[in-house]
Amino acid sequence: MLKRKSLQTDKAYDSILVSKQDVVVGKDILELVTGAMYVNPLSIYREYVQNSTDAIDELTSSKARDNAGVSIIIDVAQRTVRIRDSGAGISNSHFIEKMTAVGGSEKRGKAARGFRGVGRLSGLGYCKRLTFRGKAGGEKRVFEISWDGRKFKEILRDSDYDRQLPDVIKAVTSARSYEADDPDPFFEVELAGLIRIKNDVLVNADAIYQYLAQVAPVPFAPDFQHGDTINEKLEEFGLGSRYQITIEESGAIANDVQQVFRPYRNSFDLSPFKKDSLKSIRFFEVYGIEGQTDALVWIGDHSYLGAIPNDQLIKGLRFRCGNIQVGGHDLAADWFPESRFNSWVVGEVHILNRRIVPNGRRDNFEENAHFANLESNLLPELKGISKVCRERSSKRQWLRRFEGIEAEVQEDLKLLMANSLSQRQTSRLAKTADEKVIELEHRIERDSYGLGGQLKPRVKKLRKNLDSVRDREVDDNDPLSVVPYNKRLAFQEVFELIYTSVNNKPVANSIIDRIVKRLAAKYGAQ
């Protein structure tokens, strides 16, 4: 038997001091923070809007905050976008230092939405030149720093370039200052020479609007009837911050300025022929490990008619941190007993616990005990929502089957009342219709969905009409009475063949009805 060697614990170790010279931060780290981190190119707009809203929050005057906003101006011809906010700005003395820092944000540990200090450079991988300019309130000069996107990419591709991160930044940036036009603070990002990517979404005003409507901390549309209800509840938990963000396409024929609103509406389309509506809003809180409220959740009640299409921009349980969306509509899909039901849901989870932290890409959250607790507490609620989806789906299937049989009986009655079939086929058809009515009567008796009250009168009417047809004289209102007797039986056989051969009964009835009318016109005139 082999003996396991014991660990040596009596060795003496010498401490080694790690010096600054031993630490190497290469150029490739910039590649990660300038595009590689983000799957969706439109994420750069979220990053800049996030920084702008944090800057607005820094304003000390409540009046200034109320009047502050973010404007996005798109020049498609020049392939340039400017994102400007009227927030607190950055003082001249700290501007260059902050605009060249990578991962050195002072926001960590504060209430700010962004805190890693890397999102500012997210646009560099998508444009030829990235420029930051701005100033604090009362300052007389505007400071500006530009990053050369083309030179930056050349350095990344150069395998012989062995300089470290500070050298790369010095090589691709240039700075200047100029006299300010007014004393108000501002900050502006300019992306010049934007590349064409994914249907040119980076300069597509509609695509940018739809993206920001979902992710940005913007208000609900004024005509959304549940907007005030949701806002009041969010404000109880300090989540009421909403900002005016506008998008303008420079040089467009209309040159309209659009304010961005959240995409929720009173009704939404499920298909070109089917709509649904949000009837009410339900709120509940998710409690944390220490008993505090970790999240506030609102769910919109509707008919749960099926999966909501992507183009409605509201499908799925959405997560928001600082009122900015984290991840997409499917972040919690795997938490549902059946993932498909996530696409039936309209609702949001607003994070309150600062220990539930978005990851660097903001496409999910960092895994920790607090996030795991959030998931475990949401699971019973999502199970309940799935149960409602399943029950309403089963109810609709039951009703569709009922209405399908009902429609078949109505078509049978039309043909029986037309009196155009042979006596033998008429008897068969009447018997079949009777069996279907009996099935409907039995379905109502076994109904567990509470639909019997509204369906019973409809079945009684079918029964009455069927009994009336069966009790009449065979020759009453015979549409073929004008047809010579020697041809009448032949036509009845043809009608029988049509009815039994054509699966679509309304079509069969329509064909027979047209033939009968032509026969009446032909032989009735003789």
Kind plus residue range of the DSSP H or E element containing 257: strand 257-259
Residue 509 C-beta-side C-alpha neighbours within 13 Å = 17
Instruction: Determine the straight-line distance between the first and last CA of the chain, rounded to whole angstroms.
Output: 115
Per-residue confidence (pLDDT) for residue 32, from 0 to 100 = 62
The series of mean pLDDT values per 10 residues for the chain, 526 residues long, is 55 69 60 66 93 91 84 95 95 92 61 62 90 94 93 83 81 92 93 92 96 96 96 92 92 78 96 94 95 96 94 97 94 95 97 92 92 96 94 89 90 78 75 90 88 90 87 59 68 71 73 74 64
Q: Are 83 and 70 in contact (CB under 8 A)?
A: yes
Both structure tokens of 366: 């960092």
Per-residue confidence (pLDDT) for residue 513, from 0 to 100 = 73
Per-residue confidence (pLDDT) for residue 313, from 0 to 100 = 97
Kind plus residue range of the DSSP H or E element containing 447: none
SS (H, E, C) 160-223: CCCCEHHHHHHHHEEEEEEECCCCCCEEEEEEECCCCCCCCHHHCHHHHHHHHHHHCCCCCCCC
Task: Report long-range pairs for 506-512 (Cβ below 8 Å, ≥24 apart).
Answer: 506/411, 508/415, 509/411, 509/414, 509/415, 509/418, 512/415, 512/418, 512/420
Report the alpha-carbon distance of residue 103 to residue 83 in Å, rounded: 21
3-state secondary structure of 503: coil
Per-residue confidence (pLDDT) for residue 478, from 0 to 100 = 63
3-state secondary structure of 415: helix
* Gyration radius of the chain over CA positions: 35
Per-residue confidence (pLDDT) for residue 411, from 0 to 100 = 84
Q: Are 466 and 459 in contact (CB under 8 A)?
A: no
Per-residue confidence (pLDDT) for residue 205, from 0 to 100 = 95
Q: Are 358 and 326 in contact (CB under 8 A)?
A: yes
SS (H, E, C) 77-125: CCCEEEEEECCCCCCHHHHHHHHHCCCCCCCCCCCCCCCCCCHHHCCHH
State pTM to two decimals: 0.79
Per-residue confidence (pLDDT) for residue 56, from 0 to 100 = 93
Q: Which residues lie across from 351 on neighbouring strands?
A: 295, 321
Per-residue confidence (pLDDT) for residue 469, from 0 to 100 = 80
| Domains delineated in the chain | 24-223+245-259 (3.30.565.10), 267-388 (3.30.230)
Report the alpha-carbon distance of residue 463 to residue 460 in Å, rounded: 5
Report the alpha-carbon distance of residue 209 to residue 45 in Å, rounded: 10
Amino acid found at 292: Q
Report the alpha-carbon distance of residue 352 to residue 489 in Å, rounded: 81
Q: Among 175, 215, 217, which residue's Cα sits nearest to residue 85? A: 217
Q: Among 460, 413, 215, which residue's Cα sits nearest to residue 313? A: 215
Both structure tokens of 440: 């409907």
Handedness of CA 201, 206, 209, 210 (dihedral sign): negative
Report the alpha-carbon distance of residue 323 to residue 254 in Å, rounded: 31
Report the alpha-carbon distance of residue 313 to residue 199 in Å, rounded: 19
Environment class of residue 193 by beta-carbon count within 10 Å: exposed (0-12), middle (13-18) or buried (19+)? middle
